[in-house]
């Protein structure tokens, strides 16, 4: 009996060590990839097109008269709200949000755009409504 328990503990220890090594490797790889990203500073990129720097990603805003369309909704709601304020853009004037996909860094500030119509691809829609 003691031999079985000892063997189970050894195998469990080995599995935990492997998971730890894989986890550390994954963390190092992701950190390296994020460090190499170079988002644009918050401001006007070209006439009528704005970027909001949200840590390692950008959210882009397109202006048409006093209405706006965003491409994605950023990563952090507070950062996006501050960026919109810096650009003198009222989130209530955003009429559409075009989501490229539904990863957290693209939908994080979606709640800011209460008046916007949300556009998303059919395959992504299936992922968020539970069909896929």
Q: pTM of this prediction?
A: 0.69
Asked whether residue 18 falls in the same domain as residue 65, the answer is: no
Task: Give per-residue pLDDT as tens, 28-81.
Answer: 888 887 777 778 899 999 999 999 998 888 999 999 988 999 999 998 999 999
Task: Give per-residue pLDDT as tens, 83-100.
Answer: 999 999 999 999 999 998
* CA-derived radius of gyration, the chain: 22
CATH number at residue 84: 3.60.15.10
Asked whether residue 67 falls in the same domain as residue 102, the answer is: yes
Give the residue carrying structure tokens 């650009």: 87
Which range of residues forms the domain containing residue 2?
1-36
Residue 90 and residue 84 in contact, taking contact as beta carbons nearer than 8 Å: yes
| The pLDDT value given to residue 111 | 93
Asked whether residue 22 falls in the same domain as residue 55, the answer is: no
Closest CA to 98 of 115, 73, 81, 74: 73
Residue 72 and residue 106 in contact, taking contact as beta carbons nearer than 8 Å: yes
């Amino acid at each position: 009996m003691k031999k079985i328990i000892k063997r189970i503990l050894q195998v469990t220890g080995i599995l935990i060590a492997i998971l730890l090594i894989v986890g550390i490797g994954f963390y190092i790889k992701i950190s390296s990839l994020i460090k190499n990203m170079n988002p644009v500073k918050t401001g006007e990129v070209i006439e009528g097109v704005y970027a909001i720097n949200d840590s390692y990603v950008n959210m882009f805003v397109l202006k048409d008269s006093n209405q706006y369309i965003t491409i994605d909704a950023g990563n952090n709601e507070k950062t996006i709200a501050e960026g919109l304020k810096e650009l003198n853009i009222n989130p209530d004037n955003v009429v559409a949000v075009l989501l490229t996909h539904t990863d957290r860094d693209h939908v994080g500030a979606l709640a800011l755009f209460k008046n916007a119509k949300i556009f998303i691809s059919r395959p992504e829609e299936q992922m968020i409504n539970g069909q896929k």
